[in-house]
Structure formats: C-alpha cells, structure tokens
Amino acid sequence: MTRKKRRLYMLGLALLGLGSATALALTAFQDNIVFFYSPTQLQTQQVGDRNFRLGGLVEEGSVQKTPDGLTTSFRVTDTAHTIDVRYRGQLPDLFREGQGVVAEGKLTGGVFVAREVLAKHDENYMPPEVSEALKQAGVYKNPAESATKTAKKE
C-alpha cells in the first residue's frame, strides 16, 4: 500500500468516526430539546405530543385549587390568547396572578398539563422568552421603567 492510499484510508476513517459521533450526539439531543411557545404561537403551530415550555402571565382571577390542595388550574395569557394549565404539585412561593410564569409539560386535549412551573424571582425579572412574546403581542411593559416612574412620583 502506498503512502497516498494509506493517508486516504486514514482520512476516510477519521471522517467516518466524526460523522458517527455527530449522529450520536444529535440523536441524544433530539429527546432533550424543549421549545418555548406563547399562547398566541400555540394557536398557529402544531406541537404534537412532545414536551415544550409555555410562557406568559398568569391571568387574574384564574387560579383554582382542588380540595386536596395538590392540583392547581390556572390560565396563562399573553393578552392576545389564553391557554388553560393544570399542574399537580407544590407551586413556587412567588407564583401569583398577574405575574410571569414559564411552565413545562404537554398539551393534552386543549389543556396544558404542566410537570414543572417556574415563577419569576423578583418584581423586575421576567424570563426572556415571556418578555419577547409579550413584546410581539404589543403589550410588554418594562418593569424597571414602571418602578422608576413610581419612585419619581413619590
């Protein structure tokens, strides 16, 4: 075997190994990718039977707890559209109506069944996905600017 052929075989084996590693990595990531949707985006896109994140504001007056205290139903809105959400478990301490929320789960029969609910962690923070969805809906209000205006009035 000549040097040129041996080099060509080595290059071919290296490319085959790299291709195999890339295929394995992409296959592993495929099951772990979680997309983010706002209620408006859910109206126009098919998500199928896969996990995704739903973000928006908890609609005022929509939070209802079952008598057992473990299951909570509420609505998430981006002010244009609303999605019913059901969650079984303990909600974060900062979860309340009118605040930003991101829930991860599946859409089942028109109801989003959440397996995890994340609430914002202070009065000025909003998850980037939620603020972007609210900006696209034309209803975003920057909490930092609102707080500054309120402080100046006092």
Please state whether 89 falls in left (phi above 0), alpha (psi between -120 and 50) or beta: left
Residue 125, annotated as binding a ligand: yes
Within 8 A by CB and 6+ apart from 80, the residues are: 39, 40, 137, 139
Q: How far apart are CA 37 and CA 133, in angstroms?
A: 8
CA 61 to centroid of chain Cα atoms: 23
Q: How far apart are CA 13 and CA 95, in angstroms?
A: 54
Residue 87, annotated as binding a ligand: no
Cβ contact 37:45 at 8 Å: yes
Cβ contact 102:114 at 8 Å: no
* Annotated binding-site positions: 121, 125
Q: Which residues are annotated as a binding site for heme?
A: 121, 125
